[in-house]
Structures are given as C-alpha cells and as structure tokens.
Amino acid sequence: MELLKGADVIAAMKERMKKELEGQAHIPKLAIIRVGERPDDMSYERGAIKRMQGIGIACESYVFPADVNNELFFKEFEAVNTDPSVDGILVLRPLPAHLDEKRIEQTIDPAKDVDGISPINMAKVFAGDDSGFAPCTAQAVVEMLDFAGIELSGKRVTIIGRSLVVGKPLAMLLMKKNATVTICHTKTVDMPSVCREAEIVIAAAGRAKMVNQQYIRKNAIVIDVGINMDENNKLCGDVDLDRITELASIATPVPGGVGTVTTSVLAQHVVQAAMKKCI
C-alpha cells in the first residue's frame, strides 16, 4: 500500500501559487475571525498564518472574547466584510451558541468567502459553477486525488458522511469530474458491502477507525478525512489503516493527510479571490 501524504501535495500547490503571484502588485490578504480561546481554533489559526506567510499572503487576525455580544461582533464583522484591502475571510467555527452563525453565512461577501460557507457559493458548487469557492476540506480531497494522477471519470466513489462541509459538496466536485458517486450515512443498510463496490472510498464520518477491511475491496483507493482521538488519546482518522494495508493500493494517513492540505486550499482560494479583483 502506498501512502499519499499531504506534504507532497502542499509543496506542489505552494510552488504553483508563488508563480501565480510573481509580478503581481497586489498582495492578497486573508482576515481570520476568531471568537474565544479554543485550543483547536488557535492551532488552526497558527497553521493558517504560517501557510499564508510561506506563500506571500498577508494575514490579519481579528480576535473577540468568548462573551462578545451580537451587536458588537456583527458591527466588527461587517467592517471586515466591506474592507477593500481584505480579499478573503475565514471565520473559525463553531461560534459560541449566543452568536448567530447563520447570519454570518448569509452576510459574508461571497467573493471573500474562501471557506465556502455562503449559500451562494454552496449553490455554485452544486451547480458546477467554478466561480464559487467550495469548502476547503472537500476541495483538499480533490487536490490530493489530482496530485496522485487518479483518473476520476467513470470511477465508482463512495463517500461516508453527508455533511455540508465535506460529504455533499465533495460529491458535487467528484461528479463534475464524471465520477459515479454514492453517499453513505447513518441510515445506510449494510454500509461495508456498499463501500466494497467502490474503487475509491472517502471516509468523512467522524468516527475513529470505523473503516476496516470489511469496507475495502482489493486495490481500492482510500481517502481519510476524519480527525479523531483513539482509545489511547492519539490522533487518528476514520480509517483503521493497519487493517486495510493488504487491501488498499493507496491511502492517506492521519495525521499528515487531507487535513494538512486544507490550509493550502484556503491559501489557493485567497489567491484566486485577489486575482479576480485585479481583472
């Protein structure tokens, strides 16, 4: 089994973006909006800033206390949303329960919505319109498959998970490449047998090591989107990698797989947003 690692994909994307930015007078800028001090949010923020800086993208964080009220938060958000110097906006979610997250989705400028949360961008993804930004994790899966040179046209792909962050938009992105896509979820009957029909299995269920040898056919390609903690409190994916080694031809690790590519897709979207403004 060959491991498809995120590091190689990231390096290729970085070189591509740096070439795109050569000779450009405008430096793309990402605004990161964070509420509170959640360790996972802060970790993602640090990683995103480092990735942006390595490519040549300016990055500014807007940090609010966890108890910020709706009126103040949305006043400040609108200031960022309308700031002409900002090309992309990343809102670290989930927000505290007292803040209206749906309002963010409805009001964020679609041209700056580099994480694909706006209903307008989501509609464009479902319509196959390339002018919309797909959610970064879903796009990261496609980037990894493309990097590996995996032909998707005519391939049978099964996605485990139907969220709007990964499963549903990813299905649309894959169908745009002429894959035949099946989505499994908690109500799917005999999920292992459904997955065994697929040449490519993408696990995005959020359940530690649920995908084992019963789900995978010989020579299948397995993409693990899950990020979980196992029984030993160690980071793991949705796939039990040790149990599919003799079956899968290619698989992505966790950590070091799809999750690491997500911030590169974010950077790519910021570059694209900035380039559109310059046209």
Digitized pLDDT (tens) for each residue of the chain, 279 residues in all: 999 999 999 999 999 999 999 988 899 999 999 999 999 999 999 999 999 999 999 999 999 999 999 999 999 999 999 999 999 999 999 999 999 999 999 999 999 999 999 999 999 999 999 999 999 999 999 999 999 999 999 999 999 999 999 999 999 999 999 999 999 999 999 999 999 999 999 999 999 999 999 999 999 999 999 999 988 999 999 999 999 999 999 999 999 999 999 999 999 999 999 998 776
CA–CA separation, 87 and 111 (whole Å): 8
The answer on 249 and 140 residing in a single domain is yes
Tell me whether residue 12 is in a domain: no
CA–CA separation, 252 and 142 (whole Å): 13
The answer on 146 and 42 residing in a single domain is no
The answer on 144 and 78 residing in a single domain is no
Question: Which residues span the domain enclosing 107?
Answer: 23-111
The answer on 164 and 86 residing in a single domain is no
Alpha helices, DSSP H only, in 67-222? Answer: 70-81, 101-107, 119-127, 136-147, 167-176, 191-196
The answer on 214 and 104 residing in a single domain is no
The answer on 250 and 144 residing in a single domain is yes
The CATH number of whichever domain residue 37 belongs to comes to 3.40.50.10860
The answer on 247 and 145 residing in a single domain is yes
User: How many secondary structure helices (H) and strands (E) does the chain include?
Assistant: 10, 11
| pTM of the shown model | 0.96
The answer on 83 and 194 residing in a single domain is no
| pLDDT score of 132 | 95
The answer on 146 and 253 residing in a single domain is yes
Residue 151 to residues 130, 205, 225, Cα–Cα distance (Å): 20, 24, 20
| pLDDT score of 62 | 98
In the chain, what is the greatest distance between 2 CA atoms, to the nearest angstrom? 56
The total of structural domains in the chain comes to: 2
| pLDDT score of 279 | 60
